[in-house]
Amino acid sequence: MNPVRIGICGLGTVGSGTVNILTRNKAHIDARAGCNISIVQIGARRDNPNVDTSKFNVTRDIFEVANNPDVDVLVEVIGGTTIAKDLVLKAIENGKHVVTANKALIAHYGNEIFAAAKAKGVTVAFEAAVAGGIPIIKAIREGLAANNIEWLAGIINGTGNFILTEMRDKGRSFDDVLAEAQALGYAEADPTFDVEGIDAAHKLVILASLAFGIPLEISKVFTEGITKIASEDVTYAEELGYRIKNLGIARRTDKGIELRVHPTLIPEKRLIANVDGVMNAVLVKGDAVGPTLYYGAGAGFRRRRKKASLASL
């Protein structure tokens, strides 16, 4: 089998999980891909106790990976939009394919990155950037390719969904559940991106770009989080037969594409209203197939598994 040589930058939850899965499931992955996939270098500022890197070439300079002629595909999982952007563009400049889980990077700089990749004849893959373990990018790009997408709506931030679920099921306050989410590893020390809807907005922009063939424009998304939701709001919604979910919604209108993230009342009998905890779900309406629902674990689930020493991608 032809070799594909991988360089991984970042050893956080996603990076360490990537190394573990590529190592543990190597035989299955190689057979399905039809090639010998091997990790030839890892770039990380520090080690991660959840992964054994003793058998790999590890460097503290991530740009060494981007400049390594033995690397065919660079996997960017360092996060952020500054160094990560420079790293990805350098890898593309050097003729390397890129795989990234960085939704903020794609949402803010995807247009520039994809243009650079096209000019160099390389691919930028970003399935892991949206909805955790759900292959929603492939579903929209390939599975629904014959459809005219009319709208999509999704629970695409597991941390916010966990908080709303706990508030509903146990009558707890927002602040109380947020503290637990941080202790469990679902939320970061600074939870702003999760609870203010920013993380969901990044993902929504990516989904909308694929679904409607529009540029990535994060500034066009109306964004509202869940910090103003009180336990009484959740209780009253339940009494009226609704559940509150923070949805990312994109749809065609006569004036263009509407993009918004905000708390939404959903009838309790709807499938998406019963997506709880850190799980994600995306509902897509195509003109030919009708509504389709995609459900699975979100990024918060990955962080929780890290706490249990079972990190995975």
Q: Mind telling me the catalytic residues? A: 203
Bridge-based pairing of strands 290-297 and 256-267 is unpaired
Whole-number Å distance between alpha carbons of 2 and 226? 49
Whole-number Å distance between alpha carbons of 187 and 181? 5
Q: Of the candidates 65, 54, 2, which has an alpha carbon nearest to the alpha carbon of residue 23?
A: 54
- Do 80 and 104 contact (CB within 8 A), yes or no? yes
For 189, other C-beta atoms within 10 Å of its C-beta total 5
- Do 261 and 242 contact (CB within 8 A), yes or no? no
Q: Of the candidates 127, 167, 151, 173, which has an alpha carbon nearest to the alpha carbon of residue 299?
A: 127
- List, in sequence order, every residue forming a beta bridge with 41; answer none if it has no partner: 7
Q: Where are the beta strands (DSSP E) in 15-136?
A: 36-43, 58-59, 73-76, 97-100, 124-125
Whole-number Å distance between alpha carbons of 228 and 114? 37
R_g over Cα of the chain: 20
**How far is residue 229 from each of residues 169, 170, 266, measured CA to CA in Å?**
15, 15, 15
Whole-number Å distance between alpha carbons of 228 and 174? 9
Whole-number Å distance between alpha carbons of 52 and 62? 18
